[in-house]
Amino acid sequence: MAVIESAGITDVGRKRTGNEDSLFLDNDARLYIVADGMGGHQAGEVASKLVVNTIWDYMKRFNGNDDVEELEDTDETLSREANRLLSSIHLANKGVYNAALGNDSYRGMGSTVSLVSFANEALIAANVGDSPIYLVHNGSIELLSVTHNVITELMEVDPEAAEQIGEQYRHMLTRGMGIEETVNPAISEIQYFKGDILIISSDGLSDKVSPDEILEVVSKERPDRACRILVDLANERGGDDNITAIVLKIKSVKRGMKELISRIMLPFQKILIRKGACYADCNA
C-alpha cells in the first residue's frame, strides 16, 4: 500500500478564453485523472468533465466493496483492478459518444484521458490520446503512456516520412474518447517504489516543458509547488493552450509478504505488456 502526496492544477493559459481540461485526484481512492477536451461551443469542456466524472463514478463503487457487479469486458492478462479501470474508460467513451450524438452543439466533441491508479502490488497507467504520463524512478524520467497521434504512430513504421510531414499532425489524434463508439486504451501495470514520482499532464504543458525540465522541477519541489512552477513555465513560453498538471510522490510503501518476495526476486520492470502500443505489425 502506497502513501502518496499529490497536487494538481489546471490553468486556462494565455491564448484561450475557456478551459477544456479537467482533472481529478484523490489520495484515499488512489486515483488520478487528466482529460483534455476538444470541440467548439464549450463541447470540449463538456467532454472532458464527462470523462472524469464517469470514471470516478464507476471506480468509487469499489472502494472497500468487492461485491459490486462489474462490467463483462475482461482482459485475462490484466489484474482485477486494471480491468475495472478499463471498464471505466469504455463506459466514459460511450457516454461522450452518445452525448455527442444526442446534441447538435456537441457534435464532434471528444477528449483525451490519462490516469493512474494504485493497487497493492502495482500502479496502473492507462491513456487514450496524447496527454502524457511520466514516471520518475531513480533519478530518470520515462514516458509510461502511449502517444496516440499521427506523427508518433507514423514514426513507428516510417521515421523518414514522419519527419517530413507538418507539425500540425502532432496534435491530430488517432484515438480519442467519444470519437467512435468503442475505444482501445493503452494500459500497463508496473511495480512502484518509495521515492517514485508520477506526472500526468495535458499537452499544454508537455508542448512547452521538456521531460528533463519536468524531472528537474519535480525532483526538487513538493507536488503543489512543482505544479505551480510547471504551469507558470508553460505560460511564460506562450501559454498557447490550457495547461494541466498532476504531480504525485510515493512517500512510503507497505507491502505484505507476497509483495516483498516479489521485490527481492525481480528487478524494477514492467510486469505486463502495454496494451494498444503496437501499430503496423499488430496483426502480423
Q: Can you give the pTM of this predicted structure? A: 0.87
Higher pLDDT, 178 or 62: 178
List, in sequence order, every beta strand (DSSP E) within the chain: 2-11, 21-26, 31-38, 110-111, 113-118, 123-128, 133-137, 140-143, 186-190, 197-201, 243-253
- Strand, helix or coil at 50? helix
CA distance 205 to 43: 21
C-alpha cell at 39: 470541440
Torsion sign across C-alpha atoms 83, 85, 91, 94 = negative
In whole angstroms, what is the distance from residue 21 CA to residue 11 CA?
8
Cβ neighbors of 247 (< 8 A, separation 6 or more) are 6, 7, 8, 197, 198, 199, 218, 223, 226, 227, 230
The Cα–Cα gap between 33 and 188 comes to 15
- pLDDT of res. 122: 94
pLDDT digits (tens, 9 = 90+) for 203-247: 999 999 999 999 999 999 999 999 999 999 999 999 999 999 999
- Binned at pLDDT 50, 70 and 90, residue 139 comes out as very high
Give mean pLDDT, residues 250-275. 57
Mean pLDDT for the chain?
Answer: 87
Q: Which amino acid is at 243?
A: I
Q: In this predicted structure, what is the pLDDT of residue 256?
A: 63
- Taken in order of first residue, the domains within the chain and their CATH numbers are 2-147+173-265 (3.60.40.10)
Among 56-60, 153-157, 175-179, 200-204, where is mean pLDDT lowest? 153-157
